[in-house]
């Protein structure tokens, strides 16, 4: 028996950068020649065609398409147009599809903007990170604050339906709180439709991890990091943004549809190196080779770059639904969580739950279980406690 999702999200990984940022753990490498791009585009479309004939993707409609990386804006406008045109021949696009491209301010040109619009891209996610040049240099970004300002205004003037800004905090720099508040104030004045604000995580096998191992402090003190998060929440609330996920804010009607697919347990398909996919109907998760050439070679040989897969055990499924569902600020219905627990033969409620409610980190409101203000500050810790 096969199951076709009414709609699903498609992620396409483009593994090219001008230079790898010091904190980046994503599968990417420096783009030295445009000749590197064509084999990847060809393999992406071949893998897409093979997946389109498989369950549960066959017959499904795309409700969102997300071009991520890497730095998708490293590609020429013509290459992005070629890619999306090819995907449209493979998959039915919903009339209201959200089509996003991640962009670095140092790589955006008017020619690219024009091609993105022609390709049907209606949402640009701009990796600003900070408007302090010292902080940008610390992160190893290739752009400066002035480029970020100018690029955002060009994107807004071009007429994209949505313009989103990505920010990063928790970085060890001179006067981190003052610089962060200045960035918040200015970004809000731009009136973006969506803002993501992520705390720096020092991932293994990154330059920051190597620096930290040598005793270099790359993250600011935890107390300052908490103050930065609180400053963001306050500033965004006062500016009229909805806080809908731990690290994401949006103007009403502008939540990121693609990312919600990950948090609400829906099906999503990923093409390209390091792509991770999930078939909600069978609870099957699978992933591609992370090394670009290994993935290209596999696609050329068998049509897919899949390296491995697993079916979530009932316990894994319960843990993921609890963890991801509670990341949404609106929370989850406790009856839904209890039903998932029962199906997984897990006792509900989990033993720590009532204590966390008494301590003020979680709350029940009209049958909804959700993090409180203090709970959002330590969401990662609470996830570990609840799924232990």
Predicted local confidence at residue 25, as pLDDT: 85
pLDDT tens per residue, range 319-339:
999 999 999 999 999 999 999
Predicted local confidence at residue 2, as pLDDT: 45
- Is residue 5 within 8 A of residue 60, CB to CB? The reply is yes
Name the nearest CA neighbour of 71 among 111, 135, 24, 118.
24
Radius of gyration of the chain from its Cα atoms, rounded to whole angstroms: 21
Domains by residue range for the chain, with CATH: 7-263 (3.20.20.70), 314-386 (1.10.10)
pLDDT tens per residue, range 83-125:
999 999 999 999 999 999 999 999 999 999 999 999 999 999 9
**CB neighbour list of residue 20: distance below 8 Å, 6 or more residues apart:** 28, 29, 30, 140, 207
- Distance (Å, whole) CA 259 – CA 65: 10
Q: Which long-range contacts (CB under 8 A, 24 or more apart) does 242-248 make?
A: 243/329, 244/328, 244/329, 244/330, 245/327, 245/328, 245/329, 246/327, 246/329, 246/371, 246/376, 246/379, 247/196, 247/197, 247/198, 247/199, 248/194, 248/195, 248/196, 248/197
Predicted local confidence at residue 67, as pLDDT: 98
Predicted local confidence at residue 29, as pLDDT: 85
Name the nearest CA neighbour of 57 among 124, 3, 95, 19.
3
Predicted local confidence at residue 4, as pLDDT: 55
* Stretches in the chain below the pLDDT threshold 70: 1-5
% residues pLDDT > 90 (the chain): 90
What CA–CA distances, in Å, run from 178 to 94, 117, 174, 228?
A: 44, 37, 9, 9
């Amino acid at each position: 028996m096969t199951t076709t999702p009414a709609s699903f999200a498609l992620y396409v990984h483009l593994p090219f950068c001008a230079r790898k940022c010091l904190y980046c753990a994503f599968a990417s490498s420096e783009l030295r020649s445009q000749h590197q791009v064509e084999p990847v585009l060809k393999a992406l479309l071949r893998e897409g065609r093979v997946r389109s004939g498989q369950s549960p993707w066959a017959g499904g409609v795309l409700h969102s398409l997300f071009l991520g990386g890497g730095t998708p804006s490293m590609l020429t406008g013509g290459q992005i147009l070629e890619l999306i045109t090819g995907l449209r021949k493979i998959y039915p696009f919903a009339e209201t599809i959200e089509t996003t491209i991640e962009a670095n301010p140092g790589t955006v040109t008017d020619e690219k903007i024009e091609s993105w619009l022609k390709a049907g891209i209606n949402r640009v996610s701009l990796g600003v990170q900070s408007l302090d040049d010292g902080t940008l240099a610390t992160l190893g970004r290739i752009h400066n604050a002035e480029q970020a300002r100018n690029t955002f205004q060009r994107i807004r003037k071009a007429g994209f339906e949505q313009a989103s800004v990505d920010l990063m905090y928790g970085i060890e720099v001179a006067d981190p709180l003052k610089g962060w508040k200045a960035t918040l104030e200015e970004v809000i004045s731009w009136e973006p439709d969506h803002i993501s604000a992520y705390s720096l995580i020092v991932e293994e096998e990154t330059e920051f991890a190597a620096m930290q191992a040598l005793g270099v402090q790359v993250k600011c003190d935890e107390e300052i990091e908490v103050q930065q998060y609180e400053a963001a929440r306050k500033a965004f609330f006062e500016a009229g943004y909805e806080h809908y996920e731990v690290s994401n804010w949006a103007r009403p009607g502008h939540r990121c549809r693609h990312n919600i697919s990950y948090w609400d347990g829906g099906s999503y398909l990923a093409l390209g190196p390091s792509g991770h996919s999930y078939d909600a109907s069978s609870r099957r998760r699978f992933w591609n080779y992370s090394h670009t050439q290994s993935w290209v070679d596999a696609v050329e040989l068998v049509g897919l770059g899949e390296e491995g897969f697993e079916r979530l055990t009932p316990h894994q499924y319960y843990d993921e639904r609890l963890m991801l569902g509670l990341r949404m600020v609106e929370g989850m219905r406790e009856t839904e969580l209890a039903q998932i627990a029962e199906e997984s033969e897990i006792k509900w409620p989990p033993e720590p739950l009532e204590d966390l409610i008494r301590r003020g980190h979680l709350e029940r409101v009209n049958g909804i279980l959700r993090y409180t203000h203090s709970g959002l500050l330590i969401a990662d810790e609470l996830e570990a406690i609840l799924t232990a």
